[in-house]
Amino acid sequence: MTNAAAVRPGRGRRPAADVRDAVLDAAGAMLLETGMRGFTFEKVAARAGVSKMTLYKWWPSPGALAFDAYFAATADELAFDDTHDIERDLIAQMQAFVAFLTSRDTAVIAELIGVAQTDSDLAAAFTDRYTLPRRALAVERLRKAQNAGQIRPDADLESIVDQLWGACYHRLMLPGRPLTPDLAETVVRNLLNGVGPS
Amino acid sequence: MTNAAAVRPGRGRRPAADVRDAVLDAAGAMLLETGMRGFTFEKVAARAGVSKMTLYKWWPSPGALAFDAYFAATADELAFDDTHDIERDLIAQMQAFVAFLTSRDTAVIAELIGVAQTDSDLAAAFTDRYTLPRRALAVERLRKAQNAGQIRPDADLESIVDQLWGACYHRLMLPGRPLTPDLAETVVRNLLNGVGPS
């Protein structure tokens, strides 16, 4: 990747990494404000102060940019702690996740997932650029805990992801009960300790 | 409710309950074939052999009819066993649920939930006529198990629902991993026994 895309006449060069960050910031903010409606290369380019050509060089579609930006927007907020105590770290992670979901207009996030169900290009971008990388980060932290003897050696780590994050998405997308902060601790304790008789 | 709506000149009366069942059957089949696209009172009425007026009397909107029909379509297939063994019954239930999701065109079910995210009337109908009644049935079976000492007395039953069914929906809607039959047993055992060190 050269930084030729970042040359702007009369204003000198911006390093490519800076340009990319500016685009992701602008795209992430737009996405979390308004969802995919009106999310276009044109609007993102204007907001980031770059040319549309720059975006076309780096991203094959608005969906690909949107979910790269979504992943970037969550990266700091949803970073995985590693205090060597998986219960504590998972509770912190789920609290951050519930806070992330509920501190925004939750309808926007539900809608992002919703529109991905009826648009296969968007679904592929969402899976490749958000779901799979987030899942990999979660499994990586769980594997460390498993190696440290804090999770049973025979436990299937992928299904743990579904039973923690999936529980929160379930309340968001099929809202039979409200998504509240206390759910974070409850789902972690349920799953680590089991809900069967002790 | 009188069965006046079921009077059809020249063809005699059909009992109201029969008419209602015929409508729910027709609507459920249509919904699972094509989703909400083209789901109209007109088409359901034609398929069920009733008048549109009959539908208007019983359902305030196509969404309300669609999700009553969806609930009715799942009622037999997803009935809760009670063999007095919650682990066995939950595994049977989750196997039936995964089979229900995957034996159809899964895109239709994901799409139903997807469109509910961007249509508030549809969302309300989905919650009232499907999500809440299904949740209540699950919690009822879990409560019996709790009373029988098969689930910890302090366990939050609502969150168990999210961690079982939500895990399956997570694979359907955010497909980082495929939704396969083995997930049914895995999620039940994970949650009942715990994934922490024994």
Q: Which two tokens stand for residue A174?
A: 């099929």
If residue B13 lies in a helix (H) or strand (E), which one and from where to where? strand B12-13
Long-range contacts of B175-182 (CB under 8 A, 24+ apart): B175/A123, B175/A127, B175/A131, B176/A127, B176/A131, B176/A132, B176/A134, B176/A135, B176/A161, B177/A135, B177/A158, B177/A162, B179/B98, B179/B101, B179/B102, B179/B106, B180/B98, B181/B95, B181/B98, B181/B99, B181/B102
**Minimal C-alpha gap between B193 and chain A (Å):** 5
Q: Most A CBs within 10 Å: which of B112, B159, B161, as the mutation test of the A interface?
A: B159
- What confidence score (pLDDT) does residue A127 get? 95
Q: Cβ B162–A156 below 8 Å, yes or no?
A: no
In a domain, residue B146? The reply is: yes
- The verdict on B139 and B184 lying in the same domain is yes
**Is residue B113 domain-shared with residue B188, that is, in the same domain?**
yes
**Confidence band of A162 (pLDDT split at 50, 70, 90):** very high
Q: How big is the CA angle at B130 (ends B128 and B136), to the nearest 5 degrees?
A: 85
Give B159-188 pLDDT, tens digit per residue.
999 999 999 999 999 999 999 999 999 999
CATH number of the domain encompassing residue A32: 1.10.10.60
Q: Is pLDDT above 70 for A85?
A: yes
Q: Is residue B73 part of a domain?
A: no
Q: CB-based contact (8 Å) between B193 and chain A?
A: yes
Confidence of residue A37 (pLDDT cuts 50, 70, 90): confident
Establish if B70 belongs to a structural domain: no
Q: Does residue A67 belong to the interface with chain B, where contact is any CB pair within 8 Å?
A: no
Among the three residues A17, A41, A65, which one is the final residue of a domain in this structure? A65
Q: What is the pLDDT of residue A106?
A: 66
Query: In this structure, are B12 and B101 located in the same domain?
Result: no
Task: Return the pLDDT at A8.
Answer: 54
Number of domains in chain B: 2
Task: Give me the percent of chain A exceeding a pLDDT of 90.
Answer: 76
pLDDT of residue B11: 61
How close is the nearest chain B Cα to the Cα of A66, in Å?
Answer: 16
CB-based contact, B23 to chain A, within 8 Å: no
Query: Nearest Cβ partner of B117 from A110, A152, A186?
Result: A110
From residue B93, how far is each of B83, B98, B139 by CA, in Å? Answer: 12, 9, 13
Same domain for B91 and B117, yes or no, is: yes
Q: Does any CB of chain A come closer than 8 Å to the CB of residue B106?
A: no
- Burial state string for A160-181 with b = 16 or more CB within 10 A and e = fewer than 16: bbbbbbbbbbbbbbbbbbebee
Which stretches of chain B score pLDDT less than 70?
Answer: 1-11, 106
Same-domain pairing of B94 and B14 = no
CB-based contact A196 B194, cutoff 8 Å: yes
On average, the pLDDT of chain B sits at 91
Tell whether B88 and B183 lie within a shared domain: yes
Is A59 part of any domain? yes
Task: Quote the distance between the C-alpha of residue B25 and its chain's center.
Answer: 14
Q: Which residues of B touch A125 (CB under 8 A)?
A: none
The per-residue pLDDT for A35 is 87
Residue of A nearest to B131 (CA): A176
In a domain, B71, yes or no: no
Average confidence (pLDDT) over A55-75: 94
Could you report how far apart the first and last alpha carbons of chain B are, in Å?
A: 57
Residue A72 falls within a domain, yes or no?
Answer: no
Quote the pLDDT of residue B7.
52
Please tell me whether residues A36 and A94 are part of one structural domain. no
Same domain (yes/no): B11, B86: no
Contacts of A151 in chain B (CB under 8 A): 195-197
- Shortest distance between the Cα of B85 and any Cα of chain A, in A, equals 12
Q: What torsion, rounded to 10 degrees, do the Cα atoms A162, A168, A170, A174 define?
A: -170
Which of B:154-173 have CB within 8 Å of A?
A: 155-156, 158-171, 173
Are A59 and A110 members of one domain? no
Q: Is the pLDDT higher at A155 or at A13? A: A155
Please give the Cα distance from B45 to B55 (Å, whole number): 7
Question: Does residue B72 fall inside a structural domain?
Answer: no
pLDDT of residue B9: 55
Last residue of a domain, one of A41, A65, A89: A65
- Which residue is closest to A157 within chain B, CA to CA? B195
Nearest to A113 among B127, B173, B193 (CB): B173
Interface of B with A in 113-142 (CB under 8 A): 113-118, 123, 126-127, 131-132, 135
Residue B37: its pLDDT value, please? 85
The pLDDT of residue B1 is: 41
Contact B197 A150 (CB under 8 A): yes
**pLDDT the model gives residue B10:** 58
User: Min CA distance, B57 vs chain A (Å)?
Assistant: 27
* Residue B142 belongs to domain spanning: 78-193
A96 occurs within a structural domain: yes
- Supply the CATH number for residue A168's domain: 1.10.357.10
Q: Answer yes or no: do B53 and B114 share one domain.
A: no
What's residue A156's pLDDT? Answer: 98
Q: Tokens for A149?
A: 């003897």
A88 in the same domain as A59: no
Residues B178 and B111 in one domain: yes
Q: What is the pLDDT of residue B3?
A: 43
Distance CA A126, CA A103 (A): 21
